[in-house]
Amino acid sequence: MAPVVTSVSPAQGAPAGGTNVTITGSGFTGATKVKFGPNGTNFILVSDTQITAKTPPGTGTVQVTVTAPTGTSTQNVFFTYAQAPVLTSLNPTSGPTSGGNVVTLNGSNLAGATSVKFGSNSAVILTNTATQITAIAPAGPPSSVNVTVTTPGGTSNALTYTYTAIPAPVLTSLNPTSGPTSGGNVVTLNGTNLTGATTVLFGPSPATILTNTATQITVSAPPGTGPVNVTVTTAGGTSNALTYTYVAASVPVLSSLSPTSGPTSGGNVVTLNGSNLAGATSVKFGSNSATILTNTASQITVSAPAGPPSSVSVTVTTAGGTSNPLPYFYLAAPTLSDLSPHLGPDTGGNTVTVFGTNLTLTNAVNFGGNPAAAFTVVSDNQLTVTAPAGSGTVVVTVTTPGGTSTAATGNPYYTYLGAPVLTSLTPSHGADVGGDAIVLSGSNLTFTDAVTFGGVPASFSAISDTQVVATSPGGAPGTVNVVAQTPAGSSNGLPYVYDPS
């Protein structure tokens, strides 16, 4: 009976030949020839059921046959000439001398890898496909080594991998050291040698790395329960562990807001005080979300959203639920429609009545850039104000929690006047029966509202800021003082002589 071939092991080898194989079957006694496809090769007859041989050069998949005096085998047992593996890249191309980091090898013909070598040291193969291998790098001294892959097709070209003396990461603190079981809160890890962190583990669960420097990492904590060890892995190895505790989140409680009101435009900072506020995911003013600025367990600061004039409920939501509501009032900005008077002395101190709307909660009144010395809220539509000192024409503004008024509407302008000064009278005397035209010369006379001769009012006309013409009233023969008066006060007196008729 002709020989029977049942298997060849290994069933793959390099195209150059030279692979040691074992052929198993029966009827091998007296075998005279072993062929791999058309090519014969040297062999050793071990027994009637086993032959060892060294493959000849070849390509593709070929049939293995044994010839003996009784004939040639015909079974379909094949040997494949595998192509040699080729490496195209490593990632990363360097790592710590302690090894233990995962390196990805990319290339072709990588299937069936039997070894991955870093220099003379073997790596642990984790995954293996025709185009990629992942392996755990072995330890090695600080140096560059050749990385090769061996498959049944042979040994690949070499790529360079560098062992560097990268110090292992060290953790010194976590902030916070606890958080909700749902995760999602930001945790800051402080320490040294943290650059290039590849993994941050909370127990067995990886966290999402948000930022990473040599001394600090911020992460979004994964969900978890109980106390867990937090570690950081870099190219230098894995850090020491610090304890982080998952706690069942409590419902947040609000105790106060400051301030409790603000403008409809929003944008003002509001401080929320309470308990169980850590890890706030939202702060709502009614149905509108505020921008969270700072957040601790007992306090949150936010930038208030815009809202219409009304009262709304402010709530905080954390992993523990949604808080009790506290009222917040959106206030319309004040408006000014008029002042009385619009003129006053540059020394200030006079009383000005301010008319407008939304004035009840006034907390400041300014004349230009100068704050009023004092003010009284008469009603939502009226204030009385003690004017500060100033100069020129300025805009009067009122500030409330709803904002500051503008000059867009109404007449909120106030003009500061210098006190009137008289320098001469022409003529300086006249008939005691009166009726003479007297020219008063001086300064700050434009807004003259009264002229008196010895206290007796005279009719007059303000010609310019430096001249007023008055008609002298009748008076007893003798000398009297002529005085001009404006909203800024009374002038000095100049003597006027009544001549007897």
Do the beta carbons of residue 339 and residue 322 sit within 8 Å? Answer: no
d(Cα 110, Cα 220) in Å, to the nearest integer?
37
224 within 8 A of 181, measured Cβ to Cβ: yes
Choosing from 164, 198, 226, the residue where a domain stops is 164
pLDDT of 101 over the 90 cut:
no
- Rounded to whole angstroms, how far apart are CA atoms 27 and 50? 9
Single out the residue in 81, 103, 132 at which a domain terminates. Answer: 81
Separation CA 418–CA 391 (nearest Å) = 8
Q: Are residues 436 and 481 in the same domain?
A: yes
243 with 258, same domain: the answer is no
State how far the Cα of 153 lies from the Cα of 107, in Å rounded to an integer.
14
194 and 143 in a common domain? no
> What is the domain extent for residue 243?
170-247
Distance separating alpha carbons of residues 417 and 393, to the nearest angstrom? 9
109-115 own/partner pairs: CB under 8 Å, 24+ apart: 109/82, 109/83, 109/84, 109/85, 109/151, 109/153, 110/85, 110/149, 110/151, 110/156, 111/151, 112/12, 112/82, 112/151, 112/152, 113/85, 113/149, 113/150, 113/151, 114/150, 114/151, 114/152, 115/149, 115/150
User: Taking Cα atoms as reference points, which of 330, 331, 328 lies closest to residue 256?
Assistant: 328
* pLDDT at 357 > cutoff 80: yes
User: Domain of 345: which CATH number?
Assistant: 2.60.40.10
CA 440 to CA 425: how far, in whole Å? 5
Contact between 64 and 36 under an 8 Å Cβ cutoff? The reply is: yes
Q: What is the pLDDT of residue 410?
A: 87
Q: Is 297 helix (H, G, I), strand (E, B) or coil?
A: coil
Same domain, 157 and 204: no
Domain count across the chain: 6
The string of pLDDT tens digits covering residues 275-303 is 999 888 899 999 999 999 999 999 999 99
Q: Is the pLDDT of residue 319 over 80?
A: no
Q: Clarify whether residues 241 and 261 are in a common domain.
A: no
Task: Give the span between the Cα atoms of 91 and 97, in whole angstroms.
Answer: 16
What's the pTM? 0.47
What value does the mean pLDDT take over residues 372-392? Answer: 95
* Whether residue 322 sits in one domain with residue 286: yes
Q: What are residue 111's DSSP bridge partners?
A: none
- Region 457-472: what's the mean pLDDT? 97
Give Cα 416 distance to the centre of its chain.
Answer: 48
232 and 267 share one domain: no
* pLDDT tens, residue by residue, 213-223: 999 999 999 99
Q: What is the pLDDT of residue 181?
A: 86
Domain-ending residue, one of 291, 307, 329: 329
Residue range 450-458: mean pLDDT, rounded: 97
Question: 229 and 260: one domain?
Answer: no
Concatenate the DSSP letters of all residues of 82-138 into one string: PPPPEEEEEESSEEETT---EEEEEEES-TT--EEEETTEEPEEEEE-SSEEEEEPP
Assess whether 349 and 401 both reside in one domain.
Answer: yes
Residue 165 has pLDDT above 90, yes or no: no
pLDDT for residue 85: 94
Q: DSSP secondary-structure letter at 57?
A: S
E strand or H helix at 357, and its extent? Answer: strand 351-357
- Residue pair 64/52 in contact (Cβ under 8 Å)? The answer is no
Residue 259, preceding bond cis, omega within 30 degrees? yes
257: confidence class by pLDDT, cuts 50, 70, 90: very high
Q: How many angstroms separate the CA atoms of 224 and 233, rounded? A: 20
Which residue type occupies 81? Y
* Residue 247 reports pLDDT greater than 90: no
What is the structure's pLDDT at 446?
A: 95
pLDDT cut 90: percent of the chain above it: 82
Residue 249 has pLDDT above 80, yes or no: no
User: Residue for token digits 């992993």?
Assistant: 319
